[in-house]
Structure formats: structure tokens, C-alpha cells
Structure 1
Amino acid sequence: MNIGNALEALLVANPDFEAIEKSRDVFCPFEAIGMVRQEIRHGHYLAYCLDPQRPHGFGSECLRALMRAASYARRDLPTNEFRGDITPLDVHLMDFEKAQIRREWCKIDLLAVVNEERLVVAIELKIDASEHSGQLGRYRQLVEEQWPVDRGWRHLFLYLTKSGNDASEDDGEGWVPLHLQAVAAELESVVQRQHGAPEARILLQSYLSMLRRHHLRDDNLETLAARIWSQHKEALEFLMERRPDGDDGVFAQLYDNREEAATRMAEACGFDIVADDSSKSIIRFAVRKWDGLPHFLTAQDYTSSKRLILLELQRNGDKQLLCRFVLGRGDQDVRMRYLQALNDAGQPTTRRNVIKLVWTRLATRSISFSEDDEGDDPAGSYDRVLRTLEAYAREIVRGYDEAFGALR
């Protein structure tokens, strides 16, 4: 197709493109004040909404919504790992009207003290940053000392992130991984049920829309984007190659050179590794040999290849990226068989060896980099990341492949 005609088909009277453009072309007060990636301001706003004593008219509904999301997340985890189990029914019946919301108490992002229920909820919020060494362990100890179990207190520790990541194995024991997407969905229900003053509802809706534009997955927009890519790939690639303000950082280099990264990992582990569908925020690779495994090409709402398990790279803050295999959406029985094969073979999977209903992240590793290292040479940071990926592939891919032998 002529590139001029391709661009015309993409941009002129294209309803999918217009729908995406319309979703982005909105006034948002949170974007106007530069809050999108400022974790502190996210914390301030959430604390305000969660506090039943504030004059927003929500009462305790926002706090109850967050607790409802936490109870569902908690239900997916082993019962013996956390004290004081809290169910969705418990949350429905609890009295949160006099809850105290504390901001930055002993440096904990958010703390809810519910005296009537003898319950303390500590929330560590991560938008783009990653946890600091020893941080979560210290916070848990402080809460347990201030509100001791032997005096009837229950504790709930929530690790709230936009990717639903587990806390670190070193000191994240007892922290429930909570996806910001789940909290946003529950807060959306508060808006839809017309709780709160009209102005407060409008502001909360703006905040949730901002989260979906910048931090969360919007299934409708993902579907539109996938359809546009399938129909207008040539035009989009032409535009991307000529983007005037491209990012020159390490993650952008990995995206632009993902074929090279696949080749280097393949040479390191001895398996054919190829690039799969990727974006500027997530880079994906596949082990081609696994395509022949039973029911492997059956993933739902994941990538166009329908591969069930992919290796993903995702930025985690300014100087770190996460490397992990991801077990995508699909038939739950099939997903369980793959996870069980890995667990039976003693391969690293999840910290709690449990499977989530949507995406389950396996063998997660953090890769730190700094573009200021090695004499301000970005190439040095990029090459270090590639070497770390080679080591990861050598360590994980062969073991996973041997484990999957039980399924062949």
C-alpha cells in the first residue's frame, strides 16, 4: 500500500482512531497540576477520599471500596500467611464511619485506624517508584508494636501498585499485593451509585479517568488499539520511526532493539527466543519451542500470538525494570496445569505459589540500571541490562522447558 494512502486510512474518518483521540483529548485537573506521576500527591488525594470525616459527602464509602478490593485480593492468597482474615462480607458489615486516616505516620504512605473494629490498615503506595530495602519490614514492625495483637488488634498490610506486584521476598512477608486497577474499579462503583457531593464525584471520576489513561489498563482502548494496529500497521510504523521526541533511555533502547535482545538471550540459553507483541511500556519475548505444548496457543486477551506464557520486561521507576515470565489469561484448568508442572519441578514461580485469575507473574527479577553510571555512557547501562537478561535466560528458560516436559 502507498504510504500516503495508508496514513489517510489511519487518520481520516477512522472511528477507532477518533475514539482513542477523544479519550485523550479531555481536560483533567490532575494532569493540569502535574500530578500524574507524583506519588505524594496521589497519596494526598486518596487519603482525602478515604477519610470519612472530610466534607466530600462520600462518608466511609471510599474506604469501604478500598477494603472490598483488598478482601478480594486477600482471598486469592494462602490463609495461613496472614493473621486476622477479612472477607468481603466482613467489609460489608464493618463500621468505618469513625475511622482515622493518617498520612505519612512513621513514613507509612496511608494508615487507617478503625477503633470500632480493632483494625489497622497500612497502605504502601507505589506509582512508578519501587520499594526501598527493609522498608516494608520496618513498617510492619512499627504497626505491630503500636497496635499489638495481644490487645485484640488485627492488621492488614496492603502493597498497592499499578501492576499488582508482590512485595519483595526479603521483607514483604504479610503484605497483600493489591492492584490499583482493582481499587479503581471499586471506587468507580462509588461514583456510579451517586455517593458523595456532585463536585466530589466529578473530581473522583476525573482522577479515575486519569489513572486509566496513564497507569491502568482500559480494556476498551486496548481493543481499539489492537484493531488499529492490525489494520494500519504500516502507517503506524512509519510514524513511529519518525517520532520527533523519542525517548533515548535504556528501556527505549531495549524496545527499539528487542530483536537483538531476543538473539542474545537465545544464544545464552540455547533456545530460540523471539520478540512478541510489545509496546513502549512492556516488551515481550517468547520461547518458540513452547508453541507446540498442549493448549499453549490459547491465551485470551493477551497478545496476537495467543501464547500463554511470555517473558516480559517492564519499567519500574526511573532506574529499574522488572523481568519475569507471565502466565496470561486463559482456561483456568490449563493455566493450573502449567503452574503445577513448574512447582512440581521445583522451578521458581510466584512467591506464594498461587495463581491469579488474570495474569500470574513468574520468577520476577529486578534489574537496576542508571544512565549516569560508567562515565555517563548510556551504552554501558544498556549493555549491562542485556547481560543480566542473558543470565536470566540461562537460569530460567532451560529449567522451565524441562518442567514442561511433563505436559508433552
Structure 2
Amino acid sequence: MTEHEDGLLSLLEAVEAFEREHDVAERFNFFDAVGMKTQEIRHSRFIGYLLNPSEAHGLGDRFLKAFLLDVVAVHPEESPLSRLTVAVADLSGAFVYYERDHFDITIHVPTLRLLVVIENKIRASERDKQLSDYRDRAKVKYHEDNFMGVFLTPDGYDGEDGAWACIGYRRIKDTLHRVLREAAPHPRIADAIGDYLHLLEREVVVSEELVNACKKIYAQHRQAFDLIIEHGQVSALGEAFKTFAQDVSEVEAFSTRPNDVFFVARDWLTAPELQVADKERWGSSFPAKFWFHREEEKLSLCVEVGPVLDGSSFDRARFVRELRARFKEKDKKFKSSFTRIRTYKAKVEDDLDPEAMHSEMVRLWRQMGANEAIDHVFEAAKASVAP
């Protein structure tokens, strides 16, 4: 038996043990069967069903109340209601709508004169001014109600409109776990919610424990993994970026997904005073990144600023303003965690091969300014270090 065969067999044993320990082995899941995984419309429908106190799920208004309490807790300054008001309110008369006025989920609570609009994004990205446009539309059409906007994403990503509360799917998962324990619904409903939670944990919000276990297996079986990667399937985006990084040798990827590649300039990492980002939340020690995102027939390239460590002498607000000036973007209100500076987009074929994808990447990179964009970020960062 060759060394490669030994390594692959050892990896198979490790993977089998990993599947048993973390419950990720293939098993029937209703939501897998209906092709849900990352389809936003179907996630919205199921979440809306559980939020609706009139549905026959046995949760009553428990999940709706817990959800609204979470929203007020993460965004108290923009909330029209206090947590106490929500906690003592009878929400059993709430109405839930789907795709009404193009809003993913709309919740109307007449007793509180409250209109909750949920914009759900799993793989897609926020369109330019989408949240502010939705807020303006809701306030005009439903002017008698108090507006509460919720931007729901896998990691609680901050939208461009600061009036929206940003909620991550991890919070949805944790809240559902708690409500499921407290409500004890019908077994069939409990099974369905269990399937949904399993889907979230596997496809949308992977736990830190699972990530660490994956890293451990990779460290122990690196050679076998490298062999699989070398001869196995990779996404067209990832394959195209390999060629892109050869052309643009100044950059390197620090995280990749099937539809995303996050990368930085190597020079950015050489300045110790600029390694101020919250790496656990951001993935890199430098507070800005570029990233390519593939979404059906669209490819985008974004420059973005992430969260900075507490107590840092780095002026994040100035960094954002400096970048907006250099990338010729208007200054506007922004949050303290994730701020997109500018996004460049291209329409592409759905079945684009890596070579064609690489060409589109290069075109977007040149549109952004190529190496000048790297310099813009570096100079803005250096100008944002407190003296």
C-alpha cells in the first residue's frame, strides 16, 4: 500500500469519527429533500410560519415575542418600543405576510401599532440603497404604524442603513432552541423544527466547535486533503482566483467559500500598527479586505471595512471616511462593525468556466483601480492611526 493510500484511509476513518461526534453524517432531512438549504424564499416562509401566532405549530406567540425582544436588545437606539413593552404585550393578534410590497416578511401587530419588515439575505448581497428605500416605502404606506426594520443575514452583517437592526441566523437558531424547549409543541412540529435547526447548523451558521474540529482534522491529515484538493472538484470562482492571484501577485486570499473569496494585499500585513481588526469576527488582522462574490448571473468585487478591537488606537471612523473619499463614494452614516465602501458588479453567464471567470475578475479589478486600490487602502489606514 502506498503512502498516499495510507493517508487517505486514515482520513476516511477520521471523517467517520467526525460525522458521528458532530452529527453531520448524511441522514434524511425534510428541508434537504425540498431543496431548501440556502434558498431565501423558503427560509423566509418557514421562519414566517413560526413567527405567526395564528399557525397550528403550538408555539403561540412565543417565538415572535422572543424574536422581537432580540431585535430590541441588539438595536435599542432605533427601536420604537422598549423590551418591557414587548415582554408584557399580547402578540396573539399579529399578522404575518410574505413578499408583501416586495418585503420578504412583514409582521403587523395592531395592538402595538407596529410594522416589522424583515429583509432576509443568505447568499445574495444587499442592493445599493435597498434597505433605505424599503424603510422609506414602509413609512409612507404604513405611516400610522411604528417601523421596525430587521436585516437578517448568516453572520448578522450590518446593512448600509443604520435604522435597521442586524440579526444573525445564529441568534435565530439559539432562540428557536430555547423556544422549542419551553413550548413543547406537537412531535411532528418539533421534528420539523429540529430538521430546520440541523440545516442551519450545517449550511448557514457553522459552530465554532465544528470549525475547530475541521481545522484539527485538516492539520492531522493535510497531505491527504491536499491530494483531494489537487485532483478533486473546486468552484469556478476559487479556480479563477488562483490564476488571478498569479497575475496580481500583491494579493493573497485568507478565506474562501464556494461563492466568495476574501483577500488582502500582502503589504497591508507588514505594518504591525495596522493589525487592529477583530480577527475572530473578520478573519484577517487588517481592518479592510477585498472580496469577490458570485451570485447566479452576477460577479461583484467589494472593498469593505470590518470590526476593530476594543481599545485600539486606530480611528475606524476616519478610516471609513478616508476610503470613501479615495474611492469617490459619498460620506453617510455607518455602523461600527461592517461597512462596505464600494462594490463593482458585472453580469456573467450562470455556467461560466474558470478561464472566463478570471477575465471578469481582472476586468472588475481594473475598474476598481487595480494596484491603486491597494495603495488607497494602505494610505487611508496609515492616516487613521492615532498619534
Q: Normalising by structure 2, report the TM-score.
A: 0.82
Deviation at 1:283, TM superposition (A): 2.0
**Partner residue of 1:337?**
314
Query: Which 10-residue stretch deviates more, 113-122 or 311-320?
Result: 311-320
Relative to structure 1, the CA distance from residue 13 to residue 164 in structure 2 (aligned partners, 3 Å threshold; closer, same or farther) is closer
Relative to structure 1, the CA distance from residue 120 to residue 304 in structure 2 (aligned partners, 3 Å threshold; closer, same or farther) is closer
Deviation at 1:210, TM superposition (A): 0.6
Rounded to whole Å, the distance in 1 between the matches of 2:276 and 2:373 is 21
Q: Which SS does the other structure have where 1:227 is aligned?
A: helix
Relative to structure 1, the CA distance from residue 391 to residue 174 in structure 2 (aligned partners, 3 Å threshold; closer, same or farther) is same
**Partner residue of 1:185?**
174
**Partner residue of 1:256?**
239
Deviation at 1:51, TM superposition (A): 0.8
Map 1:9-408 → 2, pairs under 5 A: 9-13=10-14, 17-19=18-20, 22-75=23-76, 79=77, 82=78, 84-130=79-125, 139-148=134-143, 151=144, 153-167=145-159, 174-243=163-232, 246=233, 252-266=235-249, 272-291=250-269, 292-294=271-273, 296=275, 300-301=279-280, 309-321=288-300, 323-325=302-304, 327=306, 331-334=309-312, 337=314, 339-343=316-320, 345=322, 347=324, 352-356=333-337, 360-371=338-349, 379-392=355-368, 393-394=370-371, 396-406=373-383, 407=385
Relative to structure 1, the CA distance from residue 300 to residue 95 in structure 2 (aligned partners, 3 Å threshold; closer, same or farther) is same
Deviation at 1:355, TM superposition (A): 1.9
Relative to structure 1, the CA distance from residue 231 to residue 372 in structure 2 (aligned partners, 3 Å threshold; closer, same or farther) is closer
Rounded to whole Å, the distance in 2 between the matches of 1:377 and 1:26 is 32
Instruction: Judge conservation of contact 1:50–1:60 (CA < 8 Å) in 2.
Output: yes
Rounded to whole Å, the distance in 2 between the matches of 1:180 and 1:304 is 19
Rounded to whole Å, the distance in 1 between the matches of 2:354 and 2:259 is 19
Rounded to whole Å, the distance in 1 between the matches of 2:166 and 2:320 is 21
Deviation at 1:347, TM superposition (A): 4.2
Instruction: Judge conservation of contact 2:291–2:302 (CA < 8 Å) in 1.
Output: yes
Aligned residues: 378
For residues 234-286 of structure 1, give each alpha carbon's deviation from its aligned partner in whole angstroms, at most 9, with x where no partner exists.
2112112322xx36xxxx333124343234445xxxxx322334343442323
Deviation at 1:13, TM superposition (A): 4.8
- Structure 2 residue identity aligned to 1:400: V
Q: Which SS does the other structure have where 2:67 is aligned?
A: helix
Relative to structure 1, the CA distance from residue 405 to residue 131 in structure 2 (aligned partners, 3 Å threshold; closer, same or farther) is closer
Deviation at 1:388, TM superposition (A): 0.9
Q: Which SS does the other structure have where 1:127 is aligned?
A: coil
Deviation at 1:327, TM superposition (A): 2.9
Instruction: Judge conservation of contact 1:128–1:318 (CA < 8 Å) in 2.
Output: no
Relative to structure 1, the CA distance from residue 125 to residue 302 in structure 2 (aligned partners, 3 Å threshold; closer, same or farther) is closer
Relative to structure 1, the CA distance from residue 305 to residue 15 in structure 2 (aligned partners, 3 Å threshold; closer, same or farther) is farther
For residues 22-80 of structure 1, give each alpha carbon's deviation from its aligned partner in whole angstroms, at most 9, with x where no partner exists.
414232111112222333322222221111111211111111232233223424xxx4x
For residues 106-160 of structure 1, give each alpha carbon's deviation from its aligned partner in whole angstroms, at most 9, with x where no partner exists.
3322111111111111122233345567765664444323432xx4x21112232
- Structure 2 residue identity aligned to 1:254: L
- Structure 2 residue identity aligned to 1:333: G
Rounded to whole Å, the distance in 2 between the matches of 1:368 and 1:16 is 43
- Structure 1 residue identity aligned to 2:335: V
Query: Which 10-residue stretch deviates more, 299-308 or 289-298?
Result: 299-308
Relative to structure 1, the CA distance from residue 6 to residue 23 in structure 2 (aligned partners, 3 Å threshold; closer, same or farther) is same
- Structure 2 residue identity aligned to 1:192: R
What runs of 5+ residues in structure 1 fail to find an aligned partner? Answer: 267-271
Q: Give identity over the alignment, percent.
A: 23
Query: Which 10-residue stretch deviates more, 283-292 or 53-62?
Result: 283-292
Instruction: Judge conservation of contact 1:276–1:284 (CA < 8 Å) in 2.
Output: yes
Deviation at 1:88, TM superposition (A): 3.9
- Structure 2 residue identity aligned to 1:55: A
For residues 354-395 of structure 1, give each alpha carbon's deviation from its aligned partner in whole angstroms, at most 9, with x where no partner exists.
223xxx35425253331269xx88744531222212443545
Relative to structure 1, the CA distance from residue 112 to residue 219 in structure 2 (aligned partners, 3 Å threshold; closer, same or farther) is same
Rounded to whole Å, the distance in 1 between the matches of 2:21 and 2:293 is 23
Rounded to whole Å, the distance in 2 between the matches of 1:38 and 1:278 is 20
Rounded to whole Å, the distance in 2 between the matches of 1:365 and 1:27 is 39
Rounded to whole Å, the distance in 1 between the matches of 2:142 and 2:365 is 43
- Structure 1 residue identity aligned to 2:146: R
**Partner residue of 1:269?**
none
